[in-house]
A and B are shown apart, each in its own frame.
Chain A
Amino acid sequence: MSIAEFIGPAGQPSRLETWRQAWLAIDSNERALAFVQTRTGSLLLCAAFVFVLAAGLQLSVAALALVAATLFAMILLPAHALTVLVGSSLFYFAMRPFRIDGWAGLVQEKSEAFPFAGAMGLQLASVAIVLVLSAMFLFWQRQFSGTTAAKRPVLTLILLWSGLLMTAILSPQGTLWHAMHWSVVGVSVSSLWILAYSAIDARGKDTTSTLHRSAFLRPFWGGSAVPIGKSFGFLNRFAAKDETELAATRLKALKLAVWALVLTGVLKLCEFTAYQQYGLADLQTAILAHAGGNTLGGFANWASLITNYFIDLLIIAVWGHYIVAVVRMAGYRIPRNTVNPLGARTLAEFWNRYFYYFKEMLVDLFFYPAFRRYFKGNTKLRIAFATFCAAGLGNFLYHFMRETYVFADGALLEKLWIFQSAVFYSLALAIGLIVSQWRGRKVRPEDGFLAYHVWPRMNVIAFFCFLKIFDDISGEGTLMERAAFLFGLFGV
């Protein structure tokens, strides 16, 4: 076939375009749907899916093996899909209970005081304790559903966890008590938000048993502490209702995984071009160089800032697409995590399109509870306060709680300074979102191309680009140094 034939004559769809259209419509193609409903078809589809995941190189061999084994088991044992899902997630929780390396490193270090089987023994003991505590909490909530604490499960969980953290901080260093405490704090903070969703589900219509919900603290599809797919209350709403819907959901999963693979290629190419070919520094390096008096120069700093923004978008998109694809392959047609963030015309819309499940978590666990309770007589104030609770308080709490392992060696007040940029970031984001929501009239297509398509998007990109300067929880580069970098971009 010649290139001309492949591309096709002007005015007619090329062969490439025909293939693309057929691929995009594959989840509604009757022949494909019928094939995937057969045992052979579903196994082949799953094999292709696992191959695409492997090609993306985003998962470790162990994680890929667990995902593959779980998905094949769910296909082969459809009547026991829930048991397979919960069992696999329980195994994953036991093996990888920490979402960030800081906690895993801390538990490794503290395990010297644990007499049985070292770090793995300490980890497994902590997982067992957290599972028991979670089950007790959910059973207690069901039993005493009329109490204020049961009606406000998110606040109750945060207060209980804070109490646990305080006792860990006060526990004597080098003791078994100290090691156990910190390990339990680390395991529980990694699963707190999904437990909060489970507790909220208990008040809704979801019929999943308390036992299943209490064992589902780290879904086998992985990810950060942000629960992608929330919990069973959300997942069950998107569960395939019949064989045809299940086949369509699995084909959608393959499509999304392939799209993630394409984006992985784009990401690698961008990283290679920016960092290898043109020698750009990443944003953190540029900020620290500026803070150390060795600024890379105005042009290089701008280039680092803008490159960082787009590469970050690609990283989040790729990461989220792979996880959502696995959830879909498991039979739950949940929405994507990232959907065309560059199309956002408002800050709130960007937040929704950039990291949907983080935004949903902040809205479900912080925004709604505040929105329903406070400032009911004043709509603007009501929205502003609820937005502050979500984007400001909730956002900061999530990051702060995740990083509390830094307090394990004492020096509490000294370590609190690490979070100065995170406080500013959360406040600035909350203020930006409040102002964005307060602005009355929304732009319309009739306002003109620039007013509708260009300026709102440029504003959103600029806001989040600059905000990224303060998106740090490492403690390297103070708030003032980051502010100096920002002003330095404008020659100030």
Chain B
Amino acid sequence: MSKSVRNFVETLLSERGKSADFTDSDALFTSGLLDSMAATELMIYLETEFGLDLADPDFDISRLDTIDDLKGLLSEMV
């Protein structure tokens, strides 16, 4: 599960001409590596692939910041 999320993040990075060389604890969005439109793509991916409901207006987008965060989110919500 986390491998496919990682692959998706790698695709987002390569589409933006950035290196896919990052660790599970590296910040993706708050570091400026990925932008807000990439966050939208990631949210749609998580919703469609894993059935997560991230549409809650109070959802804090910083919970998507690292692969570790995403793993935690998936284990909590799936």
Contact = CB atoms under 8 A, between A and B. Distances in A.
Interface in B43-70: 43-44, 48, 54-62
Interface in B1-33: 15-17, 27, 30, 32
B78 interface: no
Contacts of B27: 237
Given A371-B40, A442-B15, A352 B59 contact: no
B37 A205 contact: no
A367 B56 CA distance: 14
Contacts of A31: none
A352 B35 contact: yes
Contacts of A376: 55
B57 A372 contact: yes
Contact of A204 (B32, B36, B48, B60): B60
B15 A372 contact: no
B48 A205 contact: no
A462 B34 CA distance: 26
A372 B59 contact: yes
B61 to A, nearest CB: 7
B6 to A, nearest CB: 20
Interface in A341-359: 343, 348-349, 352, 356, 359
Contact of A364 (B16, B36, B48, B59): B36
A360 interface: yes
B40 A367 contact: yes
Contacts of A205: 60, 62
Nearest to A373: B57
A386 B40 CA distance: 11
Contacts of A323: none
A237 B55 CA distance: 24
A203 B60 CA distance: 9
A151 B56 CA distance: 12
Q: Size band of the B side of the interface?
A: 20 to 34
Interface in A371-389: 371-373, 376, 379, 383, 386
A326 interface: no
Interface string A146-185: 0000011000000000000000000000000000000000
A373 B55 contact: yes
Nearest to A437: B37
Given A372-B56, A373-B57, A379 B44 contact: yes
A363 interface: yes
Nearest to B15: A442
A274 to B, nearest CB: 30
A348 B37 contact: yes
A335 B32 contact: yes
A223 interface: no
Contacts of A152: 57
A486 interface: no
Contacts of A368: 36, 61
A369 interface: yes
B30 A237 contact: yes
A352 B57 contact: no
A356 B32 CA distance: 11
Contacts of A151: 57-58
B28 to A, nearest CB: 12
Contacts of A348: 37
A478 to B, nearest CB: 34
Contacts of A334: 32
A151 B60 CA distance: 13
Contacts of B35: 352, 356, 360
Contacts of B37: 348, 352, 363
Given A363-B37, A383-B40, A369 B62 contact: no
Of listed A205, A237, A334, residue having the most chain B CB within 10 A: A237
A369 B35 CA distance: 16
Contacts of B59: 372
A376 B57 CA distance: 12
A367 B17 CA distance: 24
Interface of B: 15-17, 27, 30, 32, 35-37, 40, 43-44, 48, 54-62
Given A205-B60, A363-B37, A369-B57, 20 more contacts: A151-B58, A205-B62, A237-B27, A237-B30, A238-B30, A335-B32, A348-B37, A352-B37, A359-B36, A360-B35, A360-B36, A363-B36, A367-B36, A371-B40, A372-B55, A372-B59, A373-B55, A376-B55, A379-B48, A383-B44
29 contacts: A151-B57, A151-B58, A205-B60, A205-B62, A237-B27, A237-B30, A238-B30, A238-B32, A335-B32, A343-B17, A352-B37, A356-B35, A360-B35, A363-B36, A363-B37, A364-B36, A367-B40, A368-B61, A369-B57, A371-B40, A371-B55, A372-B54, A372-B55, A372-B56, A372-B57, A372-B59, A373-B57, A379-B44, A386-B40
Interface of A: 151-152, 203-205, 237-238, 334-335, 343, 348-349, 352, 356, 359-360, 363-364, 367-369, 371-373, 376, 379, 383, 386, 442
What 7 A-B pairs have minimum CB-CB distances, sorted nearest first? Answer: A335-B32, A363-B36, A237-B30, A376-B55, A372-B57, A372-B55, A352-B35
